[in-house]
Structure 1
Amino acid sequence: MKKLIPTICFCLLFSFAVKSQTGKVFDNLKLTSKILKSERSFSIYLPPDYESSKRDYPVLYLLHGAGDDHTGWVQFGEVLHITDKAIKAGKATPMIIVMPDANTGKRGYFNTEDWRYEDFFFEELMPYVEKKYRIRGEKRYRAISGLSMGGGGTFMYALHKPELFSSACPLSASVGMLPKDTVKIKDFAESEKKSVAEMRKYFKRHSAISLLDSIPVEDIKSVRWYIDCGDDDFLFEGNSLVHISMMKKKIPHEYRVRDGAHNWTYWRESLPEVLKFVSAAFHQH
């Protein structure tokens, strides 16, 4: 009987070590962008079994809001703790989470004449991380989410390139110009020293509501949508209008309005639901 004690102790220690595994976050990674002519930072979350396995993983691109950078979801969103907990509880599949910086030099996820961030995202960042890390490159295993400005980026990227994402989860999103705001295009054109036609084209390309009217419905339906905005959020109107538009076009989507405002308390509670939602596609819902 005594001979069994070392074996039992080893098994208990091994079991504890496996259960106590945690993911890792690297929050100051760099890549050089020819498009943006600068060195760009990003953070990445690697799941608990990344170093001990040889498998490839699905990926979630997680976008920050205005005023934050690539460390926002790490520092304030508690992405490490929340994702580890969701994976351990079996509510989320192990995944890689990429968090880019869109707030250094200039701010924003959209293309302008001197800030082609959307081109950088798709032509440089995505190929770089999906080659460097063991990421599965098919649509089914790629998702995108983000808050506020990053929620707007989520809408735009998934609507501009629906062939790339299985799921999109905009949180408290800035959805772009609303129909009632179109009278302001002339003022924007004057302030930006652009023609009204140029500004109208720009806002049409960066308005979720306009894109829902111009993109083939079947393309939009190819993405699983999870839209979440608090009942006290100043961006509630735009998110509500997107929901109504999707309802009218019979585009399947999840729409959540919870008690809360435009803050990290709300978004930390959103993240577990996002992880659960995107995992359903990764696992073949």
Structure 2
Amino acid sequence: MRKLVHLCCLLMLGGYQCYAQNNNAGSATSNMANTAGVPAATNIRQAKSPVILPNNRVMFSIKAPDAKKLQIDLGKKYDMQKDSSGVWTVTTDSIGEGFHYYSLLIDGVAVADPASESFYGMGRMASGIEIPFSGGGYYAEKDVPHGDVRIKKYYSAKAKAWRRVFIYTPPGYDFKTGEKFPVLYILHGGGEDERGWANQGKTDVILDNLIAEKKAKPMLVVMPDANFSGAGFSEDYLLAVEAEIKESIIPFIEKNYHTKNDALHRALAGLSMGGLNTLYTGIKNNNMFSYLGVFSSGWIMPMQDKIASAQYDYLKKNQLQVNTNLKKFWIAMGGKEDIAYNNCQAMLAKLKELNINYTYYEYPGGHTWPVWRNNLYHFAPLLFQ
């Protein structure tokens, strides 16, 4: 165990090198030079591994001579092989385009790869890899007017603490004197926080491009922290997020930013756990939000039977009001491989039975950020029209 801790410390301190950076890596360096791949855009500066090959397979290389077993965990675990100089390598299967979390497993212990940028996901700091996207470049940085992502502190009455919120403001926000903007409030998934949509989600790039192409209205996008410790997926947790949004976040935004402060100019959306928050808060507060976006979510059965039944009872009694107030109730899934797919389909069947209007959309890719980026890209143009 002492050796394992020592090895982990060395790695976290940069005590290993990607083999292309190591003068003693020998044949491994030669192999890297002979590949047709390129370092991932998410690598730290000058790191040569991981390398993305033309078919979206990924080559990883790590120098860790004292490790007994190394693996790369990209949802699927890949065993790495060690050469005589202590360099471990592996090449993965083809990986889907877009952003993916991954971990380096050192003798079974998951750590962030020091050669890659780290992101808060899976309830901890994890490595992330960006696979180049060839589907139109809607989250590629382009020569268009750019908005800002601002980080602000506000006092949370529910948490009784100061919290951060990330806020996207559209291009020219500070110079459009007297103009007020609609607001999309968007929530992260479980194990993530207010950084998720700004960093992993590329919200600013997606909105910049949509606004430049006049496909979406200029809007603010508010990305809060929806975590409350010890609450899990219980109704107490859902109530806490509802209170946070209504009592702290919306008042803070509407006091400090140029916003249109009515239901027709407010939207609420979220992915996975954030989708549950959107269902719970958005449907019964349909007098506050005219647009709801639920990404990769649906009531968790049987865990949330009681919560779901109460919401369906509300919808049955208020069907006309909900259909009138919600200009768009947009539900999206990452195809059948999405872990929330069955829960979502059960919910859709119930909504259909209750004659609740909704729009359903699928984009293959499972329960991952490539899917949620695509969801935002298709949802944002529907807002505030």
TM-score range, shorter chain: 0.7 to 0.9
Question: Is contact 1:226-1:274 (8 Å) kept?
Answer: yes
* Aligned residues with identical type, % of pairs: 29
Cα distance, 1:164–1:108 mapped onto 2, change above 3 Å: farther
2:344 aligned with 1:239: yes
Point out where structure 2 has 5 or more consecutive residues left out of the alignment.
1-142
Conserved? CA contact 1:110–1:116, under 8 Å: no
Residues 92/259 of structure 1: CA separation in 2 closer, same or farther (3 Å cut): same
Task: Tell me the amino acid that sits aligned with residue 319 of structure 2.
Answer: V
Q: 2:202 aligns with which of 57, 63, 78?
A: 78
When residues 106 and 121 of structure 1 are mapped into structure 2, their CA distance, relative to the original with a 3 A threshold, is: farther
What does residue 314 of structure 2 align with? 214
Distance in structure 1 (CA, Å) of the matches to 2:263 and 2:208: 24
Match of 1:225 among 326, 329, 337: 329
Matched position secondary structure for 1:102: coil
Deviation at 1:41, TM superposition (A): 1.1
Structure 1: how far apart are the matches of 2:371 and 2:241?
27
For residue 193 of structure 1, what is the aligned residue in structure 2? none
Where relative contact order (Cα < 8 A, 6+ residues apart) is larger, the structure is 1
- Tell me the equivalent position of 1:250: 355
Segments of structure 1 that go 5 or more residues without pairing to the other structure are 1-18, 185-201
CA 1:39–1:127: 2 relative to 1, 3 Å: same
Report the Cα distance in structure 2 between the residues aligned to 1:117 and 1:265, rounded to whole angstroms: 25
The normalised TM-score by structure 2 is 0.58
Higher strand share: 2
1:53 aligns with 2:173: no
Instruction: Give 3-state SS (helix, strand or coil) of 1:30's partner.
Output: strand
Q: Do the aligned partners of 1:110 and 1:118 also contact (CA within 8 Å) in 2?
A: no
Match of 1:176 among 280, 296, 299: 299
Q: 2:355, 2:228 → 1: CA distance?
A: 39
Output one character per residue of 1:142-184: Cα deviation in whole Å (capped at 9) or x when no partner: 00111000011111111121111111010001x3343xx2xx6
What SS does the aligned partner of 2:149 have? strand
Distance 1:264 1:217 in 2: 33
Answering whether residue 250 of structure 2 is matched by residue 116 of structure 1, we say no
1:171–1:229 CA contact under 8 A, matched in 2: yes
Q: Structure 1 residues 203, 124: CA separation in 2 closer, same or farther (over 3 Å shift)?
A: farther
2:188–2:196 contact (8 Å) kept in structure 1: yes
With 220-229 and 209-218 compared, the bigger mean Cα shift is at 209-218
Q: Distance in 2 between matches of 1:83 and 1:59?
A: 12
CA distance in 2 between partners of 1:53 and 1:210 (Å): 44
2: CA distance between counterparts of 1:161 and 1:217?
A: 13
Q: Could you tell me which amino acid in structure 1 is paired with residue 171 of structure 2?
A: P
AA of the residue aligned to 1:269: N
Q: Once the two structures are superposed, what CA deviation does each residue of 1:250-276 show, in whole Å capped at 9, x if it has no partner? A: 222111122220000111111111101
Superposition deviation, residue 107 in structure 1: 5.9
> How far apart, in 2, do the equivalents of 1:203 and 1:101 lie?
26
Structure whose CA Rg is larger:
2
Contact 1:108/1:117, CA 8 A, preserved across alignment: no
Q: SS state of the match for residue 116, structure 1?
A: helix
Change (3 A) 1:83 1:123: same
Deviations 1:172-203 (A, max 9, x none): 01x3343xx2xx6xxxxxxxxxxxxxxxxx86
Deviation for aligned residue 1:236: 0.5
Q: What residue identity is the alignment partner of 1:45?
A: Y
Task: For residue 112 of structure 1, give the secondary structure of its aligned residue in structure 2.
Answer: helix
Distance 1:98 1:81, change over 3 A: same
TM-score (norm: length of structure 1):
0.77
State the alpha-carbon separation in 2 of the partners of residues 170 and 88 from structure 1: 25
Measured against aligned partners, the alpha-carbon deviations of 1:198-227 in whole angstroms (never above 9, x if no partner) come to xxxx863x42x6412333112321212000
Q: Which runs of 4+ in 1 moved over 4 A?
A: 104-111
User: What do residues 108-165 of structure 1 show as CA deviations (whole Å, max 9, x unaligned)?
Assistant: 697629x833212211111111111011111100001110000111111111211111
Letter in 2 for 1:240: Q
